[in-house]
Amino acid sequence: MKNLSRICGSVLISIILFGCETPPAQKPLPVLSFAGSAPILLDVAQIEIHKNYKSPLKLPNVDHEMPLNLQDATESWAKERLKAVGRTGTARFIITQASVVETKLKQTEGIKGVFTTDQGERYDGILSVQMEVSGGIARGTAAARAGVRASRTVREDATLAERERKWFDMTEAMLNELDKTLETQIRRHLKAFLK
């Protein structure tokens, strides 16, 4: 009887210790930076950044839940890539849209559904910005616009870390696309304001 109590006690302690095991540490997301890219030099005295997009802060929008908010990442892009090198004039970088919307996906039903791991949600991101420049040596006004979209899906059994990684990858892809698209538009439409 004494041995049985010891065995039961050992098993109980093992179960408790196993249940208290800490989950593996989550790897931090990398830093998204464009500081290594050549700056776009604008012949203006100042660059204003306007974050005009207002998130509804509720589903189906999830942009406010993302560890790297799309609007904040776009603001960082502007601060790293756009440089004012003139004496007069103003450039306005305006973020008009920076939303990420979640859509629940249809799941396999019945017995087959028990043995199937489906994609659980799709995330659709839309990013739109515009540049408005006035004054400077060109003493005129000009504008350039760019918009990008991206989508990602996650499995229904995805962990929070896996979901956040997908959101980060989508944000990175959108910013890389914006970087190329907007620079092309700036060089085409704001040529008179470039140094």
Higher pLDDT, 149 or 112: 149
pLDDT, tens digit, 9 for 90 and up, residues 106-136 = 988 878 766 777 789 999 999 999 999 998 7
Rounded Cα gap, residues 156 and 162, in angstroms: 11
pLDDT, tens digit, 9 for 90 and up, residues 168-191 = 999 999 999 999 999 999 999 999
Domain boundaries, the chain: 2-193
Rounded Cα gap, residues 108 and 51, in angstroms: 41
Rounded Cα gap, residues 100 and 81, in angstroms: 24
The lowest-confidence range among 18-32, 61-75, 101-115 is 18-32
Give SS3 for 90: strand
Distances (CA, A) of 18 to 11, 14, 21: 10, 6, 5
Q: What type of residue is 139?
A: R
pTM of the full predicted structure?
A: 0.82
